[in-house]
Amino acid sequence: MKYKTGLLVALSFLSIASSNQKEHPKIYNKGWIDFNKNGIMDVYENPKATIDARVANLVSLMNVEEKTCQMATLYGFSRVLADELPTENWKNEIWKDGIANIDEHLNTIWNQPKTQTQYSFPYSTHAEAINKVQKWFIEETRMGIPVDFTNEGVHGLCHKKATPLPAPIGIGSTWNKELVYKAGTIVGREAKALGYTNIYAPILDVARDPRWGRVLECYGEEPFHIAEMGKQMTLGLQSQNVASTLKHFAVYSIPKGARDGDARTDPHVAPREMHQLHLYPFKRVIQEAAPMGVMSSYNDYDGVPITASHYFLTELLREKYGFEGYVVSDSEAVEYVSEKHHVAEDYKEAVRQVVEAGLNVRTTFRTPESYIEPLRELIAEGKVSMKTINLRVSEVLKVKFQLGLFDQPYVENPKASDALVHTKAAEEFSKQINRESLVLLKNEYNTLPLDISKLKNILVTGPLADEVNFTYSRYGPAENPSTSVYQGIKKYAVGKATVTYEKGCDVVDANWPESEIIPMPLSKEEQASINAAVEKAKQADVIIAVVGEDDKRVGETMSRTSLDLPGRQFELVQALYATGKPVVLVLINGQPLTINWENKFIPAILEAWFPSTCAGEVIAETLFGEYNPGGKLSVTFPKSVGQLPLNFPFKPGSQAGQPSSGPNGSGNTRVLGALYPFGYGLSYTTFDYSNLVVHQKSKQSQGEIELSCEITNTGDREGDEIVQLYLKDKVSSVTTYESQLRGFERIHLAPGATKTVYFTLHPDDLALLDKNMNFTVEPGTFEILVGASSEDIRLQKEFEIIN
């Protein structure tokens, strides 16, 4: 990362000052700031000193009150902080001695009116307001320690009008590393322009149970794929000199039975599986992208709360993985140690445990003094040593120095923010990443793309056809204009075809979710709504049904029991199909759905996940052939929840069929196989794989293996193919996965064009966790599998490791 330490000019800081605030012009000197206002350049104020020296000097000058204030978050306006800008009363608040970070200040959260503020937009107004808050901490606290302004950013920056991105499950479905890096740079650039210096992204959780409500916030179910996506997002964010904070560490994404809400605990994961699946992305991203932050999760693992675990927060995170940033707690993670997990007799003891474990900063929707005051009591009682406190504070301050906050604490040119946030180029990028997130699941009889010249009447129906709530997110931009699928198709077809709309049904029925386990007859109103859609369908040349889940069915604390289409949507789809007219299904959903009947009978299905505000435009382009979908599934679609868990990768035999012959053969008693496997996705064109070449310069365990293959577009349309490399360890000392993803590339090819795709296998790609729980490359034969999905393997070759 490049750290900015440019010279500071006194006048540039004076221009930031608020007219109603006391000014300290004497602290702004040429090339340095006198943060502690003592008239001399202390080591921590010297831009030429090393970061370690500056941290050590600052810690030596701080008192206990100042140190403990660097260990808590102040949640921003309307969550905890009542004020948008500093007030006289701030001198009476606990943050008179400073604060570690202020989270989500003045950002505006979708669907939360209390967060609306006059200071969020225009962008320059926001930057100026953040500067005023920063100015108060620098000028009105004794040590003048700058604030790290944190914010969410997994769906695009969580701000009123930042550039929107599709949900992470859609980003994961692009399999486009270059695109994800660019997404990170956009989020980082906009954060920096608005005054945010630390972004809570990416999410590296491994989504292994599709019933879990936060599947849409994950890149997928496969650790290598998640690591590659997360690495690029982290690198992109931090290229803009803002910190990337990974979440949620660790083993967070698999609560028992996928039950979230008040459960949030008890992951049933064996130690080897934990390291190979759930910790793998964190280890990779920390070692290869050096994120400055990690968020500790609120669940336990094997009886020990993660946030109170020295093993997770110190031994693994810092000593084994080499993490050098600071750790914030997820909301209520500290409180749960005593209130939910009951491994501490009271909250004060919980505070002691998390500090000893390695937590740097408590972050939750409570006042900072609720954490700082018991922490100070523990120090006074001798229950937490100053050595421990100094270490935790030093790790926080080191990040602040790395971010350049002690050299350039302000947004240098707030007016420039208006030209840096949500630019025309960024809006075009948003459309492109939404396009690339689309996955074509079925296209029987080449139903798609639709030829609009042959259509006179188009019916767009379904509960999500003219809805846009799924285009926004608690963790993304709040108020950009959004286009529904119906409006997008209507606009596309102007002057070409007549587009009509009928809702057909609501997303859920009045008895949902009970109706998922107890079938109930349609009400008169429900039957009338479906009949209205059917009547319009009879007049249409094609039916586009937009079905799935909305924002109230998917997300945090919203795990599901069933994965079928909720409510009366299935009955609507059946009724539309019964008209005999061609039906195209567009899925809006945040997790895999068990659409077995739909897959069998509906000729064309397009998976759109939770796209962002250009949803209608990009889906219309794709349905009518201006864009050829090339995304691939980053999660397995099961046929039934009764099959769960059903994921890739998997151990030999764990997802096998049942024998119908032989000594134990007794016929079939259950549904087998995936509806759509990991890595699956169709295109409007076809691709041929050939000429797999393996270059193994050495058969030693630490050598690299280079390989290549050729991909040819054999159809008549340009399109994208995602070439996937899997590796199989044929014989090993412990059971390994049937195969594992170890490389992928998204390529674009014109009709008839051929491209050579190159991969390199590194020693870590061959390693397994042996009987002694050490990662080791064992001698033996490995098989390379290259294909279009985890099941559609086109090319195979073997190589050998001899030692």
Give the active site residues: 330
**Residue 21 CB neighbour total at 10 angstroms:** 16
Element spanning 457, H or E: strand 457-461
What stretches of 214-341 adopt beta strand conformation (E)? 243-249, 293-296, 300-301, 304-305, 326-329
Contact call for residues 91 and 22 (beta carbons, < 8 A): no
461: helix, strand or coil: strand
- 713/719 Cα distance (integer angstroms): 8
Contacts of 92 (CB under 8 A, 6+ apart): none
Question: DSSP assignment, residue 145?
Answer: P
Residue 153 in contact with residue 186, Cβ under 8 Å?
Answer: no
How far is 305 from 532, CA to CA, in rounded Å?
A: 53
Backbone dihedral region of 122: left (phi > 0), alpha (psi from -120 to 50 degrees) or beta? beta
The answer for residues whose C-beta is within 8 angstroms of residue 91's C-beta and 6 or more apart is 140
Q: What pairs with residue 361 in β-bridges?
A: 328
Q: What are phi and psi of 48, to 5 degrees?
A: -85, -15
Q: What is the dihedral of CA 242, 245, 246, 248, to 10 degrees?
A: -160
Whether the CB-CB separation of 133 and 102 falls below 8 Å is answered with yes
**Under 8 Å between Cβ of 272 and 225:** no
Bridge partner residues of 544 (DSSP): 460, 584
Q: Enter the tokens of residue 616.
A: 């209608």
C-alpha to C-alpha distance for 400 and 698, rounded to whole angstroms: 45
The encoded tokens of residue 702 equal 């630490």
In degrees, rounded to 5, the angle at the alpha carbon of residue 208 between the alpha carbons of residues 438 and 684 is 20
CB 115 within 8 A of CB 109: yes
Return the ∠ at Cα 575 (arms to 570 and 579), rounded to 5°.
145
The strand pairing partners of 133, in sequence order, are none
Alpha carbon distance 323, 250 (integer Å): 14
β-pair partners for 690: 710
CB 548 within 8 A of CB 565: yes
Q: Is residue 708 classed exposed, middle or buried when 0-12, 13-18 and 19+ CB atoms within 10 A define those classes?
A: middle
Cis peptide before 603 (omega within 30 of 0): no
Report the Cα–Cα distance between both ends of the chain, in Å, rounded.
38
β-partners of residue 176 are none
From CA 77, how far away is CA 82, in angstroms rounded? Answer: 6
Q: In a 3-state reduction of DSSP, which class is residue 441?
A: strand
319-322 LR contacts (CB < 8 Å, sep 24+):
320/283, 321/282, 321/283, 321/286, 321/287, 322/286, 322/287
- Alpha carbon of 803 to those of 223, 478, 706, 727: distances in Å? 27, 56, 19, 18
Q: How many residues does the chain have?
A: 803
- Cα angle at 343 between 339 and 349, to 5 degrees? 80
Residue that the structure tokens 């009008």 belong to: 161
Tokens of 354: 């998390």
Three-state secondary-structure class, residue 632: coil
List all residues 6 or more positions away from 113 whose beta carbon is below 8 Å from its beta carbon: none
